[in-house]
Amino acid sequence: MKVVMLIDSLRDGGKERRATELLQGLSRYSDVDCKVILLKDNIHYKEVLDLNFEVIVFKRVYKRDISVFKKIYDVIKNYQPDIIHSWGSMPSIFCLPAVLLQKKTFINAMISNSVCPVMSKNWIRSKITFPFSDVILANSNIGIKSYHVPQSKAMVIRNGFCMSRVENLPDRDSVIDEFDWHDRKDHFFIGMVASIDYRKDFPLFIEAANQFLGSNSNVTFLVIGDGPDKNAVETMVAPGSKENILFLGKRRGVERLVNMLDIGVLCTHGEGTSNAIMEYMACKKPVVATNVPGNAELLKDGELGVLVERGSRMELIDAWQKMKDNQSFAQELGQKAYNYITEHMDNKVVVQQYVDLYHQLTQ
């Protein structure tokens, strides 16, 4: 079985990690061959280059470089794949000529978020590509709903998690030594891993942290990530909280930091399937997250973590305090979340779901 995958790039991002881990999983199947087409020469996940799959970069010379349509069309014509699998709205647009003229089976996996405003770029591209897609794939039910996907074409395959990422992680003391945090050895660590931009509610996180520190001095808050709103968010830290709210920037190997947390947090205005929450779950950390549909799906409506209403600083503070005061409750939540992710979201399970879909479409 031959598969062409199209994706904008393999930069450091959630969608790109998912595609990379799928390709790694597919490489273990002797009956699957892939060609990977990138639209940008940006490869963070270089492990893809070690697989026995050809990686082709068709970098656009300028934004509206229509020559890319023909280049992709020619690759597909020569390779004759059984399936075209696109990741992202522009890759879905670029493969349309081959889908239509060569009559190829098309998996359109452009949905990885939870909102699709009318007349936005994604809304327009979905209207163009959905009619010609055999399967429209999302990683959450809220994504399917937001894009108004026809039920006859809709399918959800959730993000997989490669459990090897959390094997042999350094212990808490090693991370404390790495950052020279020896005066924080008895601290309770609360962290949020996310891009610092309009999609995440870092203002709520900081406001709640400022207030929480008023009655809990032995707590350190970690902001792990970077983004355009970082400077604005930093200015929200109260003068008396600056020593206890640390901005660590974007980090490779973020799992070692997640592993030292006592609570993993995600304050957000909307979400599909959160990679950060999955990292918390895989490290057995109790999760406190905003009650938006994607988070509620992942945390089973509060069964696997605590959900707080959007914008509710007091609910967030109460959840942190409960976990700090009752650490057996927090550990029980973390263990339940870990059990769920290993049983249902291990990358091997998810890769098999893709392979089953490929076989179903080619029979």
- Given this model, what pLDDT does residue 115 score? 87
Domain 166-344 has CATH 3.40.50.2000: yes
Burial of 259 (0-12, 13-18, 19+ CB in 10 A): buried
Residue 323 has pLDDT above 90, yes or no: yes
Three-state DSSP at 88 gives coil
- Given this model, what pLDDT does residue 155 score? 97
- 174 and 310 Cβ atoms separated by less than 8 Å: no
Give whole-number Cα distances, 269 to 30, 272, 289, in Å.
42, 11, 11
Q: Phi and psi (nearest 5°) for 3?
A: -130, 130
Minimal CA–CA distance to 277: which of 198, 220, 344, 337? Answer: 337
- Given this model, what pLDDT does residue 97 score? 97
- Given this model, what pLDDT does residue 72 score? 96
Cα–Cα distance measured from residue 219 to residue 21, given in angstroms and rounded to the nearest whole number: 35
For the chain, give the mean pLDDT: 95
275-288 pLDDT, tens per residue? 999 999 999 999 99
Of 57-66, 169-178, 226-235, the one with minimum mean pLDDT is 57-66
Q: Phi and psi (nearest 5°) for 26?
A: -65, -30
Provide CATH 3.40.50.2000 ranges for the chain: 2-160+346-362, 166-344
Take residue 267 and report the two structure tokens written for it: 């304050």
Residue 61 has pLDDT above 80, yes or no: no
Rg, C-alpha atoms of the chain: 22
88-126 pLDDT, tens per residue? 999 999 999 999 999 999 999 999 888 899 999 999 999
Mean pLDDT of 36-54: 94
Residue 60: which pLDDT band, with cuts at 50, 70 and 90?
A: confident
- Given this model, what pLDDT does residue 62 score? 76
199-257 pLDDT, tens per residue? 999 999 999 999 999 999 999 999 999 999 999 999 999 999 999 999 999 988 899 99
- Given this model, what pLDDT does residue 59 score? 81
Mean pLDDT of 265-292: 95
Read off the pTM. Answer: 0.84
Sign of CA pseudo-dihedral 207, 212, 213, 215: positive
Of 53-67, 112-126, 224-238, 293-307, the one with minimum mean pLDDT is 53-67
Residue 26: which pLDDT band, with cuts at 50, 70 and 90?
A: very high
What percent of the chain has a predicted confidence (pLDDT) above 90? 88
- Given this model, what pLDDT does residue 273 score? 87
Tell me the residue type at 186. Answer: D
- Given this model, what pLDDT does residue 63 score? 72
Residue 64 has pLDDT above 80, yes or no: no
Superfamily of domain 2-160+346-362: Glycogen Phosphorylase B; (3.40.50.2000)
Which uninterrupted H or E stretch holds 23?
helix 14-26
Residue 177 has pLDDT above 90, yes or no: yes
Mean pLDDT of 14-19: 90
